[in-house]
């Protein structure tokens, strides 16, 4: 049977520059992507995605230091399930903008018997969490998709308790213009291949490269995190620098 072509157009620079437009595009894009999202993340990463996410979990505090955790843009629940595994006594909340993703995530959570894990449809720019209510915040491919990156980071800072940890896995943008252009070109080609294979539409995963054009470089991201108030910001490059894990702490005392 012939594969049905995914009906999603390429995002424009104008859409990426407006939070409302980017939010609407992401909601539509990931509704289309949801049924094949796990196959896409495995294929795009040469099956390294699961290992990267477990590496992120290794950078988080020990279980005795976490009673509540939050996962942003949880998708089908990979990191949320790992959080529930690492912190079995903690309340774990996972949020995503797209209900189609959450249907899959909730099914996986129920199958795993994770009763302390809940999935909510919410925007990371307006988190449904009280201030200073969680010890850990995570995100896999989350920050690059934030409608407004600075606002999302302010929200992370707001909900973290003093001394809390945040850690994010995402594609990384090099500092140099030439290196950035080369990386974006390679990701564009790779994304188009998988878009055609899985959805019959090259624009689906070409979004990764397009969104990276509007994402800060590693050094600029570190500077932004510092301005917001985070401390002990660290970065670990993965896959030859194409991806990175960035982790940080909220100071115990206000600066």
What strands lie across the sheet with 68-72, from one edge to the other? Answer: 117-121, 91-96, 68-72, 134-140, 160-171, 243-249, 231-238
Interacting residues of 99 by C-beta distance below 8 A, sequence separation 6+ = 31, 121
Alpha carbons 46 and 56: distance in angstroms, whole number: 18
Given this model, what pLDDT does residue 5 score?
60
Q: Residue 134 has what pLDDT?
A: 98
Q: pLDDT value at position 11?
A: 92
Which element (helix H / strand E) includes 194?
A: helix 177-199
Domain positions in the chain: 13-173+216-249
Phi, psi of 132 (to 5 degrees): 50, 50
Tell which residue, 131, 146, 88, has the closest CA to residue 250: 131
Per-residue pLDDT of the chain (255 residues; tens, 9 = 90+): 344 566 788 899 999 999 999 999 999 999 999 999 999 999 999 999 999 999 999 999 999 999 999 999 999 999 999 999 999 999 999 999 999 999 999 999 999 998 889 999 999 999 999 999 999 999 999 999 999 999 999 999 999 999 999 999 999 999 998 999 999 999 999 999 999 999 999 989 999 999 999 999 999 999 999 999 999 999 999 999 999 999 999 999 865
pLDDT for 255 equals: 56
| HEC readout, 124-177 | CCCCCCCCCCEEEEEEECCHHHCCCHHHHHHHHHHHEEEEEEEEEEEECECCCH
DSSP 68-89: EEEEES-TTSHHHHHHHHH-TT
Which pLDDT score, from 0 to 100, does residue 214 have?
A: 94
Q: So what's the architecture of 13-173+216-249 in CATH?
A: 3-Layer(aba) Sandwich (3.40)
DSSP state of 217: B
Q: Which two tokens stand for residue 137?
A: 């915040």
Q: How far from 74 is each of 57, 142, 145, 194, 218, CA to CA, in Å?
A: 14, 8, 12, 21, 22
Which of the 8 DSSP states describes residue 255?
-
| pLDDT, position 253 | 80
Place of tokens 């995530």: 105
- DSSP character string of 28-54: HHHHHHGGGHHHHHHHHTTT-HHHHHH
CB proximity list for 28: less than 8 A, separation 6 or greater: 8
Q: Name the token pair of 99.
A: 């209900």
Predicted TM-score of the model (pTM): 0.95
Check residue 1 and give its pLDDT: 37
The pLDDT value given to residue 254: 62
Cα–Cα nearest to 207, from 115, 141, 126, 113: 141
Query: Do the Cβ atoms of 160 and 174 come closer than 8 Å?
Result: no
């Amino acid at each position: 049977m012939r594969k049905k072509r995914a009906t999603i157009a390429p995002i424009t620079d104008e859409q990426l520059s407006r939070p409302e437009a980017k939010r609407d595009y992401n909601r539509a894009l990931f509704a289309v992507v949801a049924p094949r999202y796990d196959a896409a993340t495995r294929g795009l990463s040469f099956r390294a995605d699961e290992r990267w996410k477990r590496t992120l979990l290794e950078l988080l505090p020990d279980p005795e230091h976490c009673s509540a955790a939050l996962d942003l843009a949880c998708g089908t629940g990979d990191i949320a399930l790992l959080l529930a595994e690492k912190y079995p006594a903690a309340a774990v909340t996972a949020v995503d903008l797209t209900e189609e993703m959450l249907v899959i995530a909730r099914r996986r959570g129920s199958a795993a018997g994770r009763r302390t894990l809940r999935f909510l449809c919410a925007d990371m720019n307006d988190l449904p969490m009280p201030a200073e209510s969680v010890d850990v915040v995570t995100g896999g491919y989350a920050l690059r998709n934030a409608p407004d990156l600075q606002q999302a980071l302010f929200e992370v800072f707001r909900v973290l308790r003093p001394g809390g940890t945040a850690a994010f896995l995402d594609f990384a943008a090099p500092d140099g213009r030439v290196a950035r252009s080369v990386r974006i070109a390679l990701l564009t080609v790779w994304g188009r291949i998988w878009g055609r294979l899985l959805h019959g539409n090259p624009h689906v995963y070409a979004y990764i490269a397009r969104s990276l054009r509007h994402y800060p470089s590693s050094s600029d991201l570190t500077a932004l995190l510092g301005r917001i108030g985070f401390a002990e910001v660290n970065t670990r490059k993965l896959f030859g620098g194409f991806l990175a894990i960035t982790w940080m702490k909220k100071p115990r005392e206000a600066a």
